Amino acid sequence: MATVLPFNGILYNQEIIGDLSAVVTPPYDVISPEEQIQFYERHPNNVVRLDFGKKTADDDEKNNVNTRAAGFFKDWIAQGILQRDSEPSLYLTTVAFQLGDCLITRYGMIALVGLEPFEKRIVLPHEKTFSKVKSERFDLIKACHANFSQIFSLYSDQEGILHLLKEAALDSKPLFDILDDKKDRHRMWRITEPAVHRKVQKLMEDKRLFIADGHHRYETALNYRAWRSKNDPDFTDNHPANYVMMYLCSMEDPGLVILPAHRMLHDVDSQIMKILPGKLEQYFEITRIPFAGKDQSKARKTLIDMLGAHESGNALGAYIKGSDAFLYLSLKQGVMETTFGHTIPESLRHLDVTVLTRLVLMEILGFDGNRLDNEHLISYTSSAEKAIDTVASGKSDMCFILNPTKIDQVRQIAEEGQIMPRKTTYFYPKALTGQVLNQLDRSDAG
C-alpha cells in the first residue's frame, strides 16, 4: 500500500525574498550550463545553489559543490530565508500553460511518500537510469540531508483525491502566484486540515504510484535510507529518511502532457555516419526529404508533419551531419520479431524508443551499455527544432526525432515490471524546484 503523508515543508520566506520566481528553477536535469549561470546571477538565494551547484577547479573533499550546498542550506535556515511550516500540510499546486492554441491547467499534490523497493510493486519505475547521476545525487543528499526537488509521480484518481484538496483550498489565497521563464503560471496552497489529510491518506492506500520524472532521485532516496540505517544508531521505522517528497498528479488529468525526448549523438565516427543510410535500408523504408538549397525550413516542417500524421507501425526522423536531406524512417513489418525474437517483451518491442535504442543504436551502430549510460555522448531535448539545429551547427553528429510515448504505454509497461530505455518520456511542464523543500533530519519528522 502507498503511504502518503502531510509534512512540515520548508518554504522560502517571501517577506525576505520578495518575488519567488527569482529563486525557483526547473529540475536540475533540464537546466543547461548557460541556464545554471543565469539562475546563479538572478538571485543570491536561488535554489540552484542547493540542488545544482556549480563545480570549480579548486573543489576538494572539504570544499565542493555538496559541502557548499549544505552550507547554504544551513545558513539560509538560520537567517530565516527558509522557514519550516509549523503545521503538517499537503501542498496543492497548479500550473497553467499554453500548448498550441490551448491554455491548459494541471493539478498536483506535494506530499511525503513512504519509500518502497520496486519489487513490492507499490512504486513503479518505467525508465533506466544513469549510474553517474545517481552517484552525484547520493553525494548531495548525504551532505545536505534534504529533498530539494520533488519526484514527479502519477496515480489513477478515480476517487477525486485532488478534488478534495481543491475544495479545501477553494476560499484561501495561494501561498504564491508566479510566472516562470516560459510564462507558465504556478500557484500553491497549503492544506492543513487533519480530516482532509486522513481522507487523502486512506484513499491513497491502495494506489500504485508510477514515477514520471525523478527515477534517479527515487533510487538515490532508497540508497540514502540504506546508508542512514547503517550509520545512524537512532534509525527507526519512523525516521524521516523512510520517506521522500513527491509531486503526485492524476493520470486522468487533462493537463498531463508527454512530449517526445529526441536524441542527439556526439562523437560518432565519420565512417559510421557515411555508411549509416545504407545500413538503415535493411530495416526501414526510407523517404528522403531534401533541403531547398541551404534552407531547411520546408523540409523540417515536412518531416515533423509526417511523424505527427503517423498512426501505425514505427517511424523515426533522422538527420546526419553534412547531409542535404532529412530521413523519414518507417520500420519494415516483422523486423523487430525477426531481429530480436521474443527477447524483448511485446509491450516494449514496438515502442519507437525501443526501435531506436535496440535496433538503431545497439544493433546497427554497435553502441554498448557504457555508451548508452554516458549522458555526454547522447543528449536529449523535447524540441525537434533544437535537435536539428545542433546537427546543423555541428554541435552534434546526428539526431533522431521521435513521436511522444503515450501515457497508456507508460502505465502498461510499468505494471508489467518492464523498463523503458533512458529518457523515453518528457512530462511537461516540469514541477518547479524550490516550491517546498523537505528536511530529512529526525528533528523534522512530521
Average pLDDT over residues 300-311: 91
Q: What is the predicted pLDDT for the residue at 356?
A: 95
Q: How far is CA 330 from the centre of its chain?
A: 28
Percent of the chain with pLDDT over 90: 80
Residues 49 and 34: their CA atoms lie apart, in Å, by 14
- 106 phi and psi, to 5 degrees? -115, 140
| Under 8 Å between Cβ of 327 and 317 | yes
Summarised one tens digit per residue, pLDDT across range 242-299 is 999 999 999 999 899 999 999 999 999 999 999 999 999 999 999 999 998 888 999 9
Q: Which has the closest alpha carbon to 4: 171, 159, 169, 141?
A: 159
| Under 8 Å between Cβ of 12 and 49 | no
Which residue did the predictor score with more confidence, 402 or 368? 402
Residue 422, amino acid: R
pLDDT of residue 446 exceeding 50: no
Neighbouring C-beta atoms of residue 274, cutoff 10 Å: 11
> What is the total residue count of the chain?
446
β-pairing, 378-381 with 315-320?
unpaired
Cα angle 21, 23, 29 (rounded to 5 degrees) comes to: 100
Summarised one tens digit per residue, pLDDT across range 122-181 is 999 888 777 888 899 999 999 999 999 999 999 999 899 999 999 999 788 999 999 999
Cα angle 352, 353, 356 (rounded to 5 degrees) comes to: 90
| Under 8 Å between Cβ of 423 and 29 | no
Can you tell me whether residue 363 is helix, strand or coil? Answer: helix
Give the burial class of 312: count Cβ atoms within 10 A of its Cβ; 0-12 exposed, 13-18 middle, 19 or more buried.
Answer: exposed
Half-sphere exposure of 303 (CA within 13 A, CB side): 27
In order of start, what are the domains of the chain with their CATH numbers? 4-257+429-444 (no CATH), 261-403 (3.30.1760)
β-pairing, 209-213 with 123-124?
parallel
Helix residue ranges, H only, 112-212: 131-144, 161-169, 194-204
Q: What is the predicted pLDDT for the residue at 222?
A: 97
What pLDDT band is residue 338 in, cutting at 50, 70 and 90? very high
Query: In what helix (H) or strand (E) does residue 110 lie, and over which residues does it extend?
Result: strand 102-114
Summarised one tens digit per residue, pLDDT across range 18-60 is 999 999 999 998 898 999 999 999 999 999 999 999 999 999 9
Residues 96 and 94: their CA atoms lie apart, in Å, by 7
pLDDT of residue 235 exceeding 80: yes
**What does the DSSP assignment read for 125-140?**
--B---HHHHHHHHHH
pLDDT of residue 443 exceeding 70: no
| Under 8 Å between Cβ of 109 and 248 | yes
| Under 8 Å between Cβ of 367 and 350 | no
Q: Report the DSSP beta bridge partners of residue 108.
A: 93
pLDDT of residue 218 exceeding 60: yes
Block residue for cell numbers 536529449: 380
pLDDT of residue 444 exceeding 70: no
Looking at residue 421, the DSSP 8-state letter turns out to be P
Can you tell me whether residue 283 is helix, strand or coil? Answer: coil
β-pairing, 151-155 with 243-250?
parallel
Tell me what the pLDDT averaged over the chain comes to.
93
Residues 107 and 163: their CA atoms lie apart, in Å, by 9
Can you tell me whether residue 278 is helix, strand or coil? Answer: helix
First to last CA, the chain: 20
| Under 8 Å between Cβ of 276 and 364 | yes
Lowest mean pLDDT among 62-76, 98-112, 212-226, 358-372: 358-372
| Under 8 Å between Cβ of 264 and 399 | yes
- 439 phi and psi, to 5 degrees? -90, 140
Q: Report pTM.
A: 0.86
